[in-house]
Amino acid sequence: MTERTNAARMHLFDESARHYAARFQDYLLHRLEQTHPPLRGPKTAHELDDATGPLITDEGLGYEAAYTAFTEVIATATIAMDHPRMLAYVPAAPTVASELMDSVIAASSIYAGSWMEASGVVHAENAALEWLSNLAGLPASAGGTFVAGATIGTLSALAAARDRYLNRHGDRPRRWRIAATREAHSSVAEAARVLDAELLTLPVNEDLRVSVDGLAQLGAEDLDGVFAVVGTAGTTNLGIVDDLAALAEFAERHQLWFHVDGAYGGAALAAPSVRANFAGIERCDSLVVDPHKWLFGPFDCCALLYRDPTQAVRAHQHDAGYLESLNNRREFNPADLAIHLTRRARGLPFWFSLAVHGTRAYADAVEAALSLTREVTQVIDDDPLLEVAHRPELSVIVFRRIGWEAQDYLAWEKRLLQEGVAFVASTRYGQETLARLCFVNPLTSMGDVRLILDDLRVDR
């Protein structure tokens, strides 16, 4: 009886829970009000152990100790990914509306894997997916789901591609292969490993886009076992958009699945100023775009779209006795479209923000990052100590500080974070270490960037 009483107590909204719900609400409101939250940074495991003491005990810490450990130690040992001067990797910039909805989802205990259990949620998510699908120019029959990130999205899409190959050809080839350029995201290589496939590296031009002439020289023997070709709509390192039209033509000619990785750059489909860069994307069989990157949603959220969702269902639908009644309903189930079953409503915050602000605001916000990129590029061009290494196509700038070596860039980024000025990360381009800035946050200003560039000019 005691065990049952203790177990039930955890699930009751008692006075202690009410008190800390109010405290968490205050914490949430304070965080949402911060347009420039403290950047902070990582701590060592030893430092964290000393600060928190045991985090799990037999009798429990109680609300106060656990709340204090989170607010005073755990949360302070993270970098604010939405800070306007967080310009490393691909930053995050969730809207307040998306964060508010994200805070509601867990408390609502929504399971969003099936239409039966979350038809309203799936309906709303589908509206957001339809907007992205229309931006890409996919047919009205296209559809998809939201997964944790583009790594899972790409793996799911390529698994569907492999399944289509088997259904078309009957026998599996001597070896499975996926074709992509060396600029493709590391998740493509990871998907290949999981799928027991090799990578066929496609040739590139001097601009690092796939070479049309090189594609023309590949024959049937070269493509033995290839079941999919991957194009990149905005590489993570440099923001390069592949020649998607050439890749689409190549895929159609050889009857290959054409997957497009638009995890970062796909958001720019919303920007009229660069939409032409994505010509050919409308011919893809699958596409991933991460709203938690440049479409202002919270972590973790990737939109996975298929030209023909029935291909994905055939590859991914779960078959189990306890799911028979669900599958017999023949409804749209997000769990059937990717490598997942249990699924949170990760697309709902993105939909809510779109619903609140409208798509025009999203287009304006993406254009703002592109405009800032062009402005910063001009400032770098005008500075004798700085030099752009690769002309930006989207919102990534890679540049050098004349006279610096790799250790200088590493010292620079470490110093900026320790001083709470900015979070930047250098990168490797060819054999050279360079500075790299990525803009997605509409709150990032030219003044923010000048603080970072000014530090580059100081000899230390």
Give 26-71 pLDDT, tens digit per residue: 999 999 999 999 999 999 999 999 999 999 999 999 999 999 999 9
Average pLDDT rounded to a whole number, residues 146-167: 97
Terminal CA-CA length for the chain: 69
d(CA 459, CA 431): 24
pLDDT of 1 strictly over 60: no
User: Confidence band (pLDDT; 50, 70, 90) for 3?
Assistant: low
- Other Cβ atoms less than 10 A from the Cβ of 216: the count is 12
d(CA 292, CA 301): 6
User: Confidence band (pLDDT; 50, 70, 90) for 380?
Assistant: very high
Domains of the chain: 101-356 (3.40.640.10)
pLDDT of 102 strictly over 90: yes
What pLDDT is stored for residue 322 in this prediction? 78
What pLDDT is stored for residue 5 in this prediction? 66
d(CA 134, CA 129): 9
The answer to whether 245 and 281 have CB atoms below 8 angstroms apart is: no
Q: Is 16 helix (H, G, I), strand (E, B) or coil?
A: helix
User: Confidence band (pLDDT; 50, 70, 90) for 151?
Assistant: very high
What pLDDT is stored for residue 323 in this prediction? 81
* Cβ contacts of 39 within 8 Å, gap of 6 or more: 79, 80, 83, 85, 86, 417, 420, 421, 422, 423
The answer to whether 239 and 392 have CB atoms below 8 angstroms apart is: yes
pLDDT of 401 strictly over 80: yes
pTM: 0.95
What pLDDT is stored for residue 331 in this prediction? 81
Average pLDDT rounded to a whole number, residues 358-383: 98
pLDDT of 230 strictly over 60: yes
User: Confidence band (pLDDT; 50, 70, 90) for 2?
Assistant: low
pLDDT of 402 strictly over 70: yes
| Cα separations in angstroms, 52 against 17, 49, 64 | 22, 5, 13
Q: Which residue has the tokens 């600060």?
A: 51
Q: Which residue has the tokens 């994200």?
A: 102
